[in-house]
Structure 1
Amino acid sequence: MKPFVLIAEDEKAVAELLRYNLEREGYDTAVAPDGDEAMLLLEERLPDLVLLDWMLPKVPGIEVCRRIRSKSETANLPVIMLTARSEESDRIRGLDTGADDYVTKPFSTTELMARVRAVLRRIRPALVDDRVTVGDISIDRTTHTVSRNGEEIHLGPTEFRLLDYFIQHPGRVFSREQLLDGVWGSDVYVEVRTVDVHVGRLRKALMSKGGEDPIRTVRAAGYSLRSN
């Protein structure tokens, strides 16, 4: 069964971004645009994790978090608080209320997905598949290791994130802009040609033990990871 994440977020664009990225990684989702709706959805179906905006209409996220912790059936429910409030005192208040993690806006979707996996791994480890294999390439997110045909491949941090992004959708072609947003984050300025440099490094590392080139370059479109 897929892990189920409740997204409590009133900004439609942010909610849709979260929904899209979570479902792309294999999660089921539901969206609540305000605190009242979030509490109703919690009663209808208990999620495995809640992404909770602090500034929700009707019932603020901080109060939703307090109510979650006050009920026996949801007391141990993982909660990641999302907020534009970046002051240390706000972060401490959020964590003291019971949030398991605290992410400030704007955020990198890649980092947020990693935080979701980290919280689930810590609290509900059976829900997280940290080892994925596509063809002869295997990636282990827990140990941060990669192997091809059983031989370990050494990757830099950016190349590891790039491979992780590719391996989630083998065969899919990603444009350079999509890779920039997905791997580096939309809030970080990086030149488009930087993608080519890191794809080149990833390709070289994956071929260092021999074998065919696993990364396909699609003219005028982008790159994809071969699925077999």
Structure 2
Amino acid sequence: MKKCIYVVEDNINIREIIEFLLVEEMYDVITCPNTRSFWQQMNKHLPDMVVLDVMLPDGNGVEICSKLKQNAKTHQIPVMMMSAGNNLYKIKAKCSAEDFINKPFDLNDFANRIERYVAN
């Protein structure tokens, strides 16, 4: 069975590139442009991993990460935070995501990081 990854990214170009890459790597991918659509998807199905942009139009990834990690049903889901700013050290202090990556990022590095967290 394919692993499912949720990608929460408001920039359509970045979202589509990540989706294309992950589909090519044989993952099921659900993309969400904002926090509202993410929580709607979470009510339907829990993913194997979540990739979160920090800055979103209706909230931020740090808040999503914190809620996921505080919930007994979702705390085990690996989270990767993405940020275009060079403020990852600040983000690391605010949430307990498994991984952090700066945008723009190397696609091979990104794919390898995803595989590390969702491999059987």
Give the TM bin, normalised by the shorter chain.
Answer: over 0.9
1:98 to 96, 99, 120: 96
Matched residues in 1 for 2:31 and 2:50: separation? Answer: 10
Number of corresponding residues: 120
1:24 equivalent in structure 2: 24
Matched residues in 2 for 1:27 and 1:16: separation? Answer: 14
TM-fit CA distance, 1:120: 2.2
Is the contact made by 2:50 and 2:80 (CA closer than 8 Å) also made in structure 1? yes
1:49 equivalent in alignment to 2:49 = yes
**Equivalences for 1:21-170 in 2 at 5 Å?**
21-87=21-87, 89-93=89-93, 96-121=94-119, 126=120
Q: Output one character per residue of 1:14-66: Cα deviation in whole Å (capped at 9) or x when no partner.
A: 00000000000100001110012111111111000001000012121110111
Q: Output one character per residue of 1:82-118: Cα deviation in whole Å (capped at 9) or x when no partner.
A: 111223532432xx51210000011111110001011
Change (3 A) 1:71 1:12: same
Matched residues in 2 for 1:88 and 1:113: separation? Answer: 19
Q: TM-score, normalised by structure 1?
A: 0.51
Structure with bigger RCO (C-alpha 8 Å, 6+ apart):
2
Matched residues in 2 for 1:12 and 1:23: separation? Answer: 16
Structure 1, unmatched stretches of 5+, are 127-228
**Moved runs in structure 1, 4+ residues, more than 4 A?**
none
Query: Does the residue aligned with 2:59 lie in a helix, a strand or coil?
Result: coil
Structure showing greater Rg: 1
In the alignment, residue 115 of structure 2 is paired with which amino acid?
Answer: R
Matched residues in 1 for 2:116 and 2:72: separation? Answer: 23
Structure 2, unmatched stretches of 5+, are none
Matched residues in 1 for 2:90 and 2:104: separation? Answer: 16
Q: TM-score, normalised by structure 2?
A: 0.93
Matched residues in 2 for 1:34 and 1:78: separation? Answer: 19
2:14 equivalent in structure 1: 14
Question: What RMSD in Å do the two structures reach over aligned CA positions?
Answer: 1.3
Is the contact made by 2:88 and 2:100 (CA closer than 8 Å) also made in structure 1? no
